[in-house]
Amino acid sequence: MRAVDIIRTKRDGGALDRAEIDNFVAGATDGSWPDYQISALLMAIVLRGMGDEETAWLTEAMARSGARFDLQALTGLKVDKHSTGGVGDKTSLVLAPLAAACGVVVPMMSGRGLGHTGGTLDKLESIPGFRVDCSAREIVDALVEVGCVIVGQTRDIAPADRRLYRLRDVTATVESIPLITASIMSKKLAEGIDGLVLDVKVGSGAFMKTVGDAEQLAQSMVRAGQLAGVRTEALLTRMDAPLGRAVGNAIEVVEAIETLRGQGPRDLTELSVILAARMVLIAERAKTIGEAERRVRDAMASGAASDRFRRMVARQGGDPGVVDEPSRLALASGRELARAPRSGYVTGLDAMLIGRAAAALGAGRATADDRVDHGVGIRVLASLGALVRAGEPVLELIHRDGKGLGDAAALAVQAIELGGAPPVPQPLVVGTVA
């Protein structure tokens, strides 16, 4: 089986069989396929697409390219959640302990931020001592003791994805739903999970800008999961404005802790309850979605959810004292206000621009090698629908010695949209795929 023949088949619009896809993934993993042939097939996939079966085979082959977690010894169904990324999206920090407090086993493999979107691992590493590079044995032990763990992708998990992603980034082949699906879902399948809830973001601050594109991606990922024997469903949720009031790293951890106590912003709390309830239902810890939501809210109100977060932090080497004293998470000392240029109702807070502003301050990274400043970020002072007068603060920029402040301030002011009437409230969840 020659690489050039596989490339030609896809170039001419043909469907690849399982053996051809296995050959491609094995070649990407062991180096027998050179970069130029991998890139040629990636471009052919972008231009010609892949069917559901091809996408599922690619996903499974990438998951098999490395190690897989063995969680069979753990009692109960293992369920994870994945978000396609947004601004202020700290739901993973809330969901893992919240679902675990309801009896769900949650092995969560997360990533770092790049561009305008934040990364769960960067946020957690703002907690002194918190480790995201746990071994397979440590992950299993944490799941036994705590019920949840949030870690980064180890080098032996889906190694094919690392090479393919690197080449996609430099060959203009990122925008392919089959390739996006395989990249995301291969890592999830390698976790050894039984169920998965997907949060597919749509809007100005999301990778998918339209509901149609987001629905297409959701359907592709759900089909790939289900064909692999993982109970998978997706929610499409809005990402036109930041989720919650905090954008950054340490500042988002603080807001996540508040939400676990039932004291978080309304939109973040609502979405966390919805997603956690889906996880509880998939894990068969409730018989109806109504019962699942009641269990989730009870875990917040009773303190069980925040206690589970405290235990997770301690188990992964972090300072559990931050749960009771969030002020121990040090923020940068600089403050700058982005003010309303005129009076009116806040009709928009462009998530993309606010995410870029936070990244300019140092909360994000432009390249994978950039260092993140955990103490900087942006706080929303006037949410959508608020009536503000000219000169009143809408956003607070938390900066360190003015670094990146000029660019961030300009972006923040540009992100503020004002109108003569309050915006029509929009539902947080705009669709479901199951």
pLDDT recorded at residue 150 = 96
Look at residue 249 and tell me if it is in a domain.
Answer: yes
Three-state SS annotation for 183-212: HHHHHHHHCCCCEEEEEEEECCCCCECCHH
**DSSP states along 50-75:** --HHHHHHHHHHHHHTS-----TTSS
User: Are the C-beta atoms of residues 401 and 334 closer than 8 Å to each other?
Assistant: yes
Q: Based on the domain organization, do 266 and 197 belong to the same domain?
A: yes
Look at residue 68 and tell me if it is in a domain.
Answer: no
Look at residue 235 and tell me if it is in a domain.
Answer: yes
pLDDT recorded at residue 104 = 97
What residue has token string 């970069």?
35
Q: Based on the domain organization, do 271 and 400 belong to the same domain?
A: no
pTM: 0.92
pLDDT recorded at residue 368 = 67
What residue has token string 């003569």?
420
Q: Based on the domain organization, do 209 and 351 belong to the same domain?
A: no
Q: Based on the domain organization, do 276 and 410 belong to the same domain?
A: no
Q: Based on the domain organization, do 276 and 342 belong to the same domain?
A: no
Look at residue 175 and tell me if it is in a domain.
Answer: yes
Look at residue 244 and give its three-state secondary structure.
coil
Question: Which helix H or strand E contains 260, and what residues bound it?
Answer: helix 250-260
pLDDT recorded at residue 73 = 82
- Tell me the mean pLDDT per 10 residues along the chain, length 434: 96 97 97 96 97 95 92 91 92 97 95 74 95 91 96 87 87 90 93 96 92 96 95 97 96 97 96 98 97 98 98 97 93 98 97 95 81 95 97 98 97 98 94 95
Token couple for 165: 């992603």
CA distance 23 to 27: 6
Domain boundary among 323, 347, 374: 323
Look at residue 424 and tell me if it is in a domain.
Answer: no
Look at residue 90 and give its three-state secondary structure.
coil
Closest CA to 92 of 9, 201, 211: 201
CA 134 to chain centre: 19
Look at residue 56 and tell me if it is in a domain.
Answer: no
Q: Based on the domain organization, do 266 and 119 belong to the same domain?
A: yes
Q: Based on the domain organization, do 336 and 235 belong to the same domain?
A: no
Number of Cβ atoms within 10 Å of the Cβ of 108: 23
Q: Based on the domain organization, do 363 and 307 belong to the same domain?
A: no
CATH code, domain with 366: 3.90.1170.30
CATH code, domain with 245: 3.40.1030.10
Closest CA to 256 of 241, 236, 238, 276: 276
The residues assigned a catalytic role are 82, 161, 168, 183, 187
pLDDT recorded at residue 364 = 86
Look at residue 274 and tell me if it is in a domain.
Answer: yes
Range of the domain at 390: 332-419
Q: Based on the domain organization, do 399 and 256 belong to the same domain?
A: no
CA distance 159 to 27: 12
**Which long-range CB contacts under 8 A does 130-138 form with residues at least 24 apart?**
130/313, 130/316, 130/317, 130/318, 130/319, 131/316, 131/317, 131/318, 132/316, 134/316, 136/67, 136/69, 136/70
Q: Based on the domain organization, do 400 and 253 belong to the same domain?
A: no
Closest CA to 340 of 400, 409, 392: 392
Say how many residues make up the chain.
434
**DSSP states along 1-15:** --HHHHHHHHHTTPP
pLDDT recorded at residue 33 = 97
Q: Based on the domain organization, do 284 and 247 belong to the same domain?
A: yes
Please tell me the total count of domains within the chain.
3
CA distance 387 to 286: 41
Look at residue 65 and tell me if it is in a domain.
Answer: no
Q: Based on the domain organization, do 230 and 347 belong to the same domain?
A: no
pLDDT recorded at residue 114 = 62
pLDDT recorded at residue 154 = 78
